[in-house]
Chain A
């Protein structure tokens, strides 16, 4: 199934037309907690039509700061009230020294950070009473690394029993920016832990740097990497099309979602029996 990030920019049009018919929608709880009035009505209408997946922005599991338990309780209530099927967060930090930064900063790939982040994910799962999916984020610079990115991610997955949100575009972006092979990277991940896939576009700002913008259409090499991922995965998982900026007409989003679905179906179709 292929879903879409539910954006206020196109909420009304999406709900009142059949141009896109996602299998599910995804929201950031931060954008909807404590919201009433017009948007609450729109959101309720969307929940009547689509299953909900959620993707947090501010929990900051990679932060040196303590978890914000008051906020975590609000997330828990939100997930319960909306009957959310899944909650995911970023493997990054967005808060430090008691100040929110509202963006995703890279965690140092260090041994102590592995244990620190794993412990925080474990606590989040205990409070929420559910397994969460953790997303590999795009990054533009390593910070004080003691190991590689893949070692860091796999170490965390070994330490804590959470799921993995595999953002295929992020892997492409990171492979480009840090000059590694994206397919080797994906092949090195424990695919049995992948519970959710994100797909998005990006923007190349220089010969050596790509920024993960969610503001462009998905490019062919990222579709190819998605195909590779699905063939490695060998099973169906929900796939989300993210488009947060520079939002095109819904017909274009529909085309992207259709292509994702086709790639997935093709990758997962049973191999024809070939007699020996």
Chain B
């Protein structure tokens, strides 16, 4: 309201210089010092992105990485006031803009998302839920960890070093990511499509293992054999140990 256009213009010019490196004529500046602003601003952005995406940085190597981060910061207007959230904007920017580098590195977008998922799961707000630690896995109602995310990848970025992933690896990879409530540790679990579906059914509503197996087998139109029952039981027991299944319904 009170700000004159000329003052606004000077502020915009400095901010734009920090983002793009293009320095307009700004009255009164010390030209020998002004470059430090661009260096300091870009260091913050690059440090944050590099520490969020160490695997992607390693895949691209420094020169391409720097070029990409410069392009991002000069083109994209960062919206989040929280700098730790900015890496997600970097991912979204690449997803929307689809720069040429994604053709050279088809695995890059999924790798970035894989790395961001770990941060987001580690940092996200707590999701409180009522549950009991004690119960009988054969008959009590199972409760899924609410701090959970299901993910599908075309490339095995969660299983293999990115540089070794080739076109031959392209396929359907299912996994879930959850946070251990006690330690805050984030765990990625590689899953078959069947077990993903089983967990999805459990995420729809807490239920017993027998009910879950009946629903799953009906949906997949397969017989509930002893082998299937045993495999499901093993899976559920492992999921309880890893806190993917957090416990049992209190009622």
> Which A residues are in CB contact (< 8 Å) with B122?
37-38
- CB closest residue in chain B, given A32: B82
Interchain nearest-CB distance for A94 vs B (Å): 8
A102, B83: Cβ atoms closer than 8 Å: yes
Interchain nearest-CB distance for A49 vs B (Å): 20
User: With the chains together, A205 CA to B123 CA distance in Å?
Assistant: 36
Checking B33, B34, B41 against A102 with a beta-carbon cut-off of 8 angstroms, the contacting residue is: B41
Task: Confirm or deny: A248 has a beta carbon within 8 angstroms of a beta carbon on chain B.
Answer: no
Task: Confirm or deny: B80 has a beta carbon within 8 angstroms of a beta carbon on chain A.
Answer: yes
> Which A residues are in CB contact (< 8 Å) with B12?
64, 96-97
A101, B81: Cβ atoms closer than 8 Å: no
Contact with A along B1-33 (1 / 0, CB 8 A): 111101110111011101100000011111001
A105, B82: Cβ atoms closer than 8 Å: no
> Which B residues are in CB contact (< 8 Å) with A37?
122-124, 126, 147, 179, 184
The answer to whether A38 and B28 touch (CB under 8 A), given A96-B11, A97-B12, A141-B34, is: no
Interchain nearest-CB distance for A117 vs B (Å): 9
Task: Confirm or deny: A18 has a beta carbon within 8 angstroms of a beta carbon on chain B.
Answer: no
Checking B29, B44, B80 against A143 with a beta-carbon cut-off of 8 angstroms, the contacting residue is: B29
> Which B residues are in CB contact (< 8 Å) with A143?
10-11, 14, 26-29
Most chain B CB within 10 A, of A64, A71, A101, A209, is at A101
The answer to whether A36 and B29 touch (CB under 8 A), given A103-B40, A105-B15, is: no
User: With the chains together, A91 CA to B69 CA distance in Å?
Assistant: 28
Task: Confirm or deny: A276 has a beta carbon within 8 angstroms of a beta carbon on chain B.
Answer: no
Task: Confirm or deny: A82 has a beta carbon within 8 angstroms of a beta carbon on chain B.
Answer: no
> Which A residues are in CB contact (< 8 Å) with B44?
102-103
> Which B residues are in CB contact (< 8 Å) with A38?
122, 183-185
Task: Confirm or deny: B79 has a beta carbon within 8 angstroms of a beta carbon on chain A.
Answer: yes
Task: Confirm or deny: A271 has a beta carbon within 8 angstroms of a beta carbon on chain B.
Answer: no
A100, B81: Cβ atoms closer than 8 Å: yes
Checking A63, A103, A119, A211 against B1 with a beta-carbon cut-off of 8 angstroms, the contacting residue is: A119
- CB closest residue in chain B, given A112: B4
A31, B41: Cβ atoms closer than 8 Å: no
Task: Confirm or deny: A131 has a beta carbon within 8 angstroms of a beta carbon on chain B.
Answer: no
Task: Confirm or deny: B191 has a beta carbon within 8 angstroms of a beta carbon on chain A.
Answer: no
User: With the chains together, A221 CA to B3 CA distance in Å?
Assistant: 37
Contact with A along B23-54 (1 / 0, CB 8 A): 00011111001101100110011001000000
CB-CB nearest 8 A-B residue pairs: A38-B184, A99-B77, A96-B15, A58-B81, A115-B2, A36-B126, A37-B184, A36-B125
Question: Can you report 5 residue pairs joining A to B where beta carbons are below 8 Å apart?
Answer: A34-B124, A37-B179, A110-B4, A142-B29, A144-B26
